[in-house]
Amino acid sequence: MATEEKVRIGLLGAGSIALFRHGLELSQNPDAELVTVYDPIKERAEYFVKLYGGKVAASEKAVINNKNLDAIIVATPNSEHARLTIAALEAGKHVLCEKPMATNLKDASAMIAAAEKAGKKLMIGHNQCLMAPHLKARQLLKEGVIGEVLTFRSSFGHGGPETWSQDNGPHTWFFKKEKAYVGSMGDLGVHKAYLLPWLLGSDIAEVGAFAATLDKKNEKGKLITVEDNAVCILRMANGVLGQLTASWTYYGPEDNVTILYGTKGRMILGADPDYPVEVLLANGEAAKYKVGAVATNTVQVKSGIPDMFVDCILDDIDPPFDGLKGYKALATVVACMESSASGKITAVCNEPVK
């Protein structure tokens, strides 16, 4: 695109992530224009355009086939991601799709293939990587500050999505298998399944997991049909071993802590709110970094995802957070679910499937 042109964007899904992040950040980006928004609950689209501009669209198709758009953001329940993304790519639009990119590996593979066939960009909204402590950690790891990472543990948990989603309450789509596919692993675990390879420079190769529904109940007072907790062990392709936990029953403050143990010492991310990156070395040296905070559901920080998407389109570069990396994160989640069901260590399918 010519750099003086704005990227014209349509939005599918005017729920919480669109309201709190995509809409707000696009409205502050001089290179982006929000043109049209569709949500089956019309009041949500109307509220969204009142805040951030654009026009309410009458249907999904009115957005997907709008000739006046360069790109579409898909911010719907997980079950709609693949269908809408593929339709938008086939209609010649670049797509930013929320995570988890799909609800199965076949659909995720088809999304990657559709982007390749259309020659359009496909980016997945893995915003954890852009959070200041995680950017700082990546830089320090590259500098070898803690030596070679050997092991890690990483957790992501809060009190559940039913207070976050616009479908507020125990009836939320996040709690329904047919809409969400998985629970805490699709909401939170997939973020870490994406972040850890990005930090450590290696794919996740094998997993073992226990996933269970321990506490969350639906509108009928019955335990929900997706897991609310998952405890996983991971082996990376480079041999690094670690643990990943995802939880919707960490009531109270959000827990988004990663500890990396290297040959020279350790790095602690997200534990101390004032110093979200801490380095403790075996030789007694220590350093604390006062970088920006990791976002929580209640205290939001700029994600940088919409800006990155717009820049990739304007500069015609491949999105760093591309479909294949999103696929691998989903493949880790799928492997964890299979492992939990079978009771066996399970290989992660890191290659797109037919």
> Any contact of residue 103 with ligand NAD (CB under 6 A)?
no
Residues near ligand NAD (CB under 6 A), total: 28
Q: Which two tokens stand for residue 174?
A: 């996040």
Contacting residue, 80, 228, 254, 278, with ligand NAD by CB under 6 A: 80
Q: Which two tokens stand for residue 206?
A: 């094998």
Q: How far is the CB of 41 from ligand NAD (least distance, A)?
A: 4
Q: How far is the CB of 137 from ligand NAD (least distance, A)?
A: 18
Candidate segments 48-56, 165-173, 197-205, 337-345, binder of ligand NAD by CB under 6 A: 165-173
Which one, of 215, 282, 278, 222, lies nearest residue 251 by Cα? 215
Q: How far is the CB of 107 from ligand NAD (least distance, A)?
A: 13
Contacting residue, 77, 197, 208, 270, with ligand NAD by CB under 6 A: 77
Candidate segments 76-84, 108-116, 212-220, 332-340, binder of ligand NAD by CB under 6 A: 76-84
> Any contact of residue 14 with ligand NAD (CB under 6 A)?
yes
3-state per-residue secondary structure call for the chain: CCCCCCEEEEEECCCHHHHHHHHHHHHCCCCEEEEEEECCCHHHHHHHHHHHCCEECCCHHHHHCCCCCCEEEECCCHHHHHHHHHHHHHCCCEEEECCCCCCCHHHHHHHHHHHHHHCCCEEECCHHHHCHHHHHHHHHHHCCCCCCEEEEEEEEECCCHHHCCCCCCCCCHHHCHHHHCCCHHHHHHHHHHHHHHHHHCCCEEEEEEEEECCCCECCCCCECCCCCEEEEEEEECCCCEEEEEEECCCCCCCEEEEEEEECCEEEEECCCCCCCEEEEECCCCEEEECCCCCCCCCCCCCCCHHHHHHHHHHCCCCCCCEHHHHHHHHHHHHHHHHHHHHCCCEECCCCCCC
Q: How far is the CB of 206 from ligand NAD (least distance, A)?
A: 25
Contacting residue, 36, 154, 165, 256, with ligand NAD by CB under 6 A: 165
Candidate segments 16-24, 132-140, 268-276, 282-290, binder of ligand NAD by CB under 6 A: 16-24
Q: How far is the CB of 170 from ligand NAD (least distance, A)?
A: 13
> Any contact of residue 189 with ligand NAD (CB under 6 A)?
no
Contacting residue, 23, 34, 35, 38, with ligand NAD by CB under 6 A: 38
> Any contact of residue 254 with ligand NAD (CB under 6 A)?
no
> Any contact of residue 276 with ligand NAD (CB under 6 A)?
no
Each residue 40-69 as x (binds ligand NAD by CB under 6 A) or -, in order, gives: xx--x---------------x---------
> Any contact of residue 36 with ligand NAD (CB under 6 A)?
no
Candidate segments 64-72, 166-174, 306-314, 342-350, binder of ligand NAD by CB under 6 A: 166-174
Which one, of 92, 125, 97, lies nearest residue 111 by Cα? 97
Contacts with ligand NAD, residue ranges (CB under 6 A)? 12-18, 38-41, 44, 60, 75-78, 80, 98-99, 125, 127, 164-167, 173, 187
